[in-house]
Amino acid sequence: MDIHSKTIILASASPRRKQLFAEAGYKFTVVVSQIDESIFSAENIAPAEYAKQLALAKGNDVADKYPDSIVIGADTVVDFEGQIIGKPRDAKHAEEITRMLFSKPHKVITGVAIICKLRNLKIVEADTTVVYPKKLTDAQIAEHIESGVWQNKAGAYSISDNDPFVDHIEGSMTNVMGMPMELLKRLLF
C-alpha cells in the first residue's frame, strides 16, 4: 500500500497513540471518532474481537467523513482471565481493577483497523501482549489511585519503560501503550 500518496488520519483522542505515531515518523492528522463506545456490548464476545469491533467502528466513523484518506482506528482492552476490562468509571472502580490486575498476569489487546473507503480497503487485526505485574502494596495502590493517572486508561494504568509496577511483558510494549507499532508497520507496508 502506498501510504505516502494518501493522507493518514488517526481516529483517536489518545495522546499516547499520537506520540507513538509522531515518534515513528508518520505524517498524519488526528480526527477523533464520535462513536459512543457504551453501545457496544462486551458480553459473549472474545476480548480480541471486541477490541477489533471498536477499532473498526471508530475507523469507519471517521472514514465516512474522509473517504479518500487512510484512516486508522484503534481500541485497547485488558483481558483478565477472559473478562474484558475497559476504562474505570471512577476512583473506586480503578482501585478494584488495579487490585485485580496486579494480582496475576493479564493480557493487553489492541484492535487496529485500517480503512480507505475510496479504495474499498478494510484491514482489521489485533495484537496481544501478556503483562506480568509486580505485587503492589496497599500504599502503592493508594498512591496510584490518588495520582489520577488511571483515568481514561484501559485497565486503569499505562505502561512505560522500567515501569515499577511491571515485572516483565511478553509481546509488544507499544501494544500495551495503545498502538502495536510493529503490527501497524507490517499492515501498512
- Active-site residue set: 75
Beta pairing partners, 28: 8
Nine-digit cell string for 156: 486503569
Classify the phi-psi angles of 120: left when phi > 0, otherwise alpha if psi is within -120 to 50, otherwise beta: left
Angstrom distance (rounded) from CA 139 to CA 146: 10
Cβ density class 136-171: b for 16+ within 10 Å, e for less: beeeebeebbeeeebeebbbbbebeeebebbeebeb
